[in-house]
Amino acid sequence: MQRMESTADRLKRLREERGIGSGAELARMSGVPEATYRAYESGRRPLTPRAARELSAALGITWQALLFGKEALALQGAVTTAEQASALLDQRTSRKPRAPRTPSAGSLPAEVVSMGGDSWALLPVYDTRASAGPGQEIDSETVIYRIAFREEWVRSVTAAPLEDLAVIAVDGDSMEPTLRQGDTVLVDFGQKRPQRKDGIYVIRTDGGLQVKRLQIDLATARLVVLSDNKAYEAQHGIRPEDLAVVGRVIWLGRQIGS
C-alpha cells in the first residue's frame, strides 16, 4: 500500500522537481529562515499557511497546492484564507474533536510578520506587573503593545504555541539579584507543572501574582517556594495542587543604566 504523501514530502519533491538544489537556496528565495525551512522539509514542524504562501511563489504553484496536494483542486473556492486552511488542517489531523481550550493569561491570536527575510513573532506585553514581593491582581489585564521576537529564537527556547507566550513586568525585590524591579519577563503560560529541576515561575496567590523560584522536594513530592533574595523566607511542604502556577519564566529583559 502506497504511503500518502506528507506536506514535508511534497515540499521536498517540488523543490527537487524545480531544480532548486538545496533547502537553503529555497529558503533564501522565499525569505524564510533556513533553520525554519529545514524543520518544514524534515517534518519536524508543520508547514503553516503563512509559510506556504512564501514558499509557493518560488515553487511556481499555489499555496493551497503546496499544503493540500492533489486535494487542492477539490478545495478550490472553499479555502481562500490562511484561517480557513488552518481550520481544515486541524480537522484533517485530528481524529476526534478537541476539548475546548481554556483561555490562559497569554491566550491571544498569534501575530507573525516577515521583516528582513526573517519571521518575527509579535508577543503581547500586558499592562500589569508580576510582583516579586507582595503581589498584584491582574484580572483586568490589557495588552499595551507587542514586542517582536525572532520566531526562530522563540522556537529554540520553547515549543509552546505563540498564543501561550506573553511579556509582563516584575515588581518588588524578593527575586533580586536574579530579577529586579522593572525587569520584563517572557512567560510561557503553558508550563504550569514545575519540573524536577528548579525554575522561575509566575504564581497566583491570595495577594495576586508573584514571581518565585519553585523546587520539588523529591523525598515528599511537595513544592518549595523560594525567593532569591535571602531576606525572604522559603515556604516548604506545599502540595502542587494547592499552588496556582500561571506559567514559567523563560526569558529576562532588562534596561541598562536605570
d(CA 23, CA 11): 10
d(CA 47, CA 27): 13
Rg of the Cα atoms in the chain = 22
d(CA 166, CA 249): 10
Q: Is the pTM above the cut of 0.75?
A: no
d(CA 9, CA 25): 17
120, 139, 156, 251, 253 from 153: Cα distances, Å: 9, 30, 5, 11, 15
- Residues 160, 199: contact at Cβ < 8 Å? no
pLDDT score, position 116: 67
d(CA 213, CA 202): 9
- Ordered per-residue pLDDT tens for the chain, 258 residues: 445 678 888 899 999 999 998 999 998 888 888 888 888 899 888 888 778 888 888 888 887 778 777 654 444 444 445 555 444 454 343 333 333 333 344 455 567 877 767 788 888 887 666 666 654 444 444 677 788 888 888 888 888 888 889 888 888 889 999 999 888 899 998 888 887 678 999 988 766 788 999 998 888 888 999 999 999 999 989 888 888 898 999 999 887 765
Q: Go through the domains of the chain in sequence order and give each one's CATH number.
A: 7-93 (1.10.260.40), 115-253 (2.10.109.10)
- Residues 34, 23: contact at Cβ < 8 Å? yes
- Residues 215, 223: contact at Cβ < 8 Å? yes
Buried b (16+ CB within 10 A) or exposed e, 160-177: bebbbbbbbbbbbbbbbe
Secondary structure (DSSP) of 168-190: EEEESSTTTTTS-TT-EEEEETT
pLDDT score, position 194: 84
pLDDT score, position 186: 92
